[in-house]
Each structure stands twice: as structure tokens, then as C-alpha cells.
Structure 1
Amino acid sequence: MNFTDMMKQAAGLQQKMEEMQEKIAGLEAEGSAGAGLVKVTLNGKGYASRVTIDPSLMVEGEREVLEDLMTAAINDAKSKLEVQSQEQMKSLTQGIPMPPGMKLPF
């Protein structure tokens, strides 16, 4: 492969990477905790777009339980979002020879 071909491949990869970043930004992941009593939806950039709290948790003196469930639901959504993003990135790098251990985005 000559230098010109490598530059064309790099430019194509850059465009695919930008497209993939847009696609990832459009993803959504819902995390839940407490058997679904708390649900949090994150967008592909990791920002919360929706929170649902079961009314049974709105009890005086149970603030700590609700806080713990919110934290767990956010972390659950974040984990799911990371898996979805990784799957999208795998489709981008299929067929492209990458050095061992190298991951995109850099």
C-alpha cells in the first residue's frame, strides 16, 4: 500500500468516525434499579433525558433509599450505553487492520 492509498484510507476512516459519533450520540439506554422502581434514560452523550420514579418511593424518611436507587439506575444505564457504543465502534473497525491493543476513538 502506498502513501496516497494510506491517506485516502485515513480520510475515509475519519469520515466514518464522524458518522459513527453522530450515530452514538443518537443512542439511548435505559437503566433501572429496585426491580424497576427507578428508571433513568441516558442519551449517547451520557446525559439524562428521562427519569421515572415509582410513587411508592415517595415516602418521608426514605430519601437515602431513593438516592441509592437513582445512583444504581444511572450506573446501569451508563453501562448499557457503553456496551452499545462499543458495538457501534466494532462495526466501524471491521476489516481495518489495527495494531494490537489500539482502540478507537483514540
Structure 2
Amino acid sequence: MFGNLGDMGKLLEGMQEHAKKLQEELESKTFSVKSGGGMVEVTLNGKGEVIDIAIDDSLLEDKESLQILLMGALNDAYKMVEQNKQQSALGALGGLNPFGEK
């Protein structure tokens, strides 16, 4: 499978560097989701941290609607970040060939 342990070490090192680069790229992305026709907008970074929330002033007196729209936007944004992580991981696997075939 591998010519020697040195080749396997180089492969693992390359995989680690590639994974680190993908992680940095993912963390630098932002994901925004709108809810209620744009009345609530939530923005997360690639780590899944909320970095911004925008709420239309008309919702400030309707607590129940605000809560529902905010929960929906947050859940959708978290799903978007998770899907992006999964796609990045699958893409990383596709770019590496541990069997040395070209």
C-alpha cells in the first residue's frame, strides 16, 4: 500500500495541512438567514457563533412573533453552517488519494 513509513508520514502531514487550511477557510465564512420576510436576520460565522442579529422595529412590541422568528432564523443558520462543514469535509476527502494513484 505505502512504499515505506516515510511516504505515509508525508501523506499524513499533507492531510493535516489540508485540514487546517479548510478549517481556516470555513471559519472565515459568514452565513446569513432571514426569517419572517426579512423582519429578522441572523448572521453566524463558520464556527457557528452568532455575529449579528437584525430585528425590524415593528416586532419589538410582539414578543411571541419575535421569539418564533428568531428561533427559526437561528435554527436555519446553524443548519447552514453544519451543511457547509459537511460539504467541506467531503470535498477534502475527494482531494486526497491515500493510495497514490494519479
**TM-score normalised by structure 1 residue count:** 0.80
Q: Which has the higher helix share?
A: 2
Counterparts of residues 85-104 of structure 1 (less than 5 Å): 85-96=85-96
> CA-atom RMSD, angstroms?
1.6
CA shift digits 1:12-64 (9 cap, x unpaired): 101111111111111111122212211100001111111111122122xx212
Is 1:53 equivalent to 2:55 in the alignment?
yes
Determine which of 27, 46, 49 is the counterpart of 1:25: 27
Report if the CA contact (8 A) 1:32-1:72 is conserved: no
CA shift digits 1:50-91 (9 cap, x unpaired): 1111122122xx212211211111111111111222222222
Match of 2:69 in 1: 69
Distance 2:97 2:63 in 1: 51
Match of 1:13 in 2: 15
**Runs of 5+ consecutive residues of structure 2 not aligned to the other structure:** none
Percent sequence identity is 33
Match of 1:44 in 2: 46
Detail structure 1 runs of 4+ shifted over 4 Å in the superposition.
none
**Runs of 5+ consecutive residues of structure 1 not aligned to the other structure:** 99-106
Match of 1:83 in 2: 83
